[in-house]
Amino acid sequence: MTLKKSAKISRVLILIGTLVISACAIHLPANSDNPVQSEFSLAKGTSWTYSDSEYQSAPADPTQVITAQYQLIETVTEITSQNGFFFAHVQSEQKPIHVPDGWMPFSPPGDFWYIIKGQQVFESGEPVDFTKLDTDTLNLAFDFPLSVHQSWCPVRVDLKDPNHAPITNCDNYGKLSVLKQSAYQVPAGKFENCFQIEEYANDGPIFQWFCRGIGVVDVQYDHGGSIFGFKQELTGYNQGSR
């Protein structure tokens, strides 16, 4: 819940990414091979349902907390393989459960794409031409196989630099680190082979639990300087068909 987690915090901070593939793209077949299927099932029709609890300061009294409850459903609607990459289009739908008076809504979730090359799973919030895709400019969400103490930079080049200079140190912002491996319990059930991943940020880290064969089952963010954050937990999971 990488753009899953990163997109969520990006939505909270008024940044939501969507990957736009050209309208003249080739029709997406339903039987493409996912090279990380055993780690992260992305078969067509796979869906994840999350409880989504978001909080912020009350408009009348900034020292008080108000909370909104949503249901978030993410569904793999299309998959394809092209030029050595596997693509999965994920549609997001957010339904309000309880929204208090005075709530300042975050930007709603949008569609996103997983892009897989070898054992690496990328996400993108920018338009991408998959015929000449450069993964150095994409967000590296997962670098399989996961292991404790493993870490990586989500983006490997400086997109603000016209020459796209390589990023050699992301310790102070964005670094992803696998903290531990264990079983993990969420409302959808108990999963045995899970990894806690931290994404470092100056305004507060994002923590997520990724469970092998399922995907992201828990994401949490608490802003370090204000009353602001969210928690998502997996409440339902449906495996699609190849």
Q: What burial letters (b/e) apply to 155-193, b meaning 16+ CB within 10 Å?
A: ebbeeeeeeeeebeebeeebbbbbeeeeebebebeebee
Pick the CATH number of 4-238 from 2.40.360, 2.20.28, 1.20.5, 1.10.3470: 2.40.360
pLDDT of res. 173: 77
By three-state DSSP, how is residue 74 classified? strand
Q: How far is CA 146 from CA 64, 173, 239, in A?
A: 39, 20, 22
DSSP state of 40: S
pLDDT band at 15 (very low <50, low <70, confident <90, very high): very low
59-117 pLDDT, tens digit per residue, is 999 999 999 999 999 999 999 998 889 999 999 999 999 999 999 998 888 899 999 99
31-44 pLDDT, tens digit per residue, is 468 999 999 999 99
By three-state DSSP, how is residue 152 classified? strand
Q: Residue 172, CB half-sphere, CA atoms under 13 Å: how many?
A: 3
Q: How far is CA 38 from CA 61, 115, 185, 193, in A?
A: 49, 16, 20, 12
Q: Tell me the domain boundaries of the chain.
A: 4-238
Q: Which of 43-52, 146-155, 160-169, 197-206 has the lowest mean pLDDT?
A: 160-169
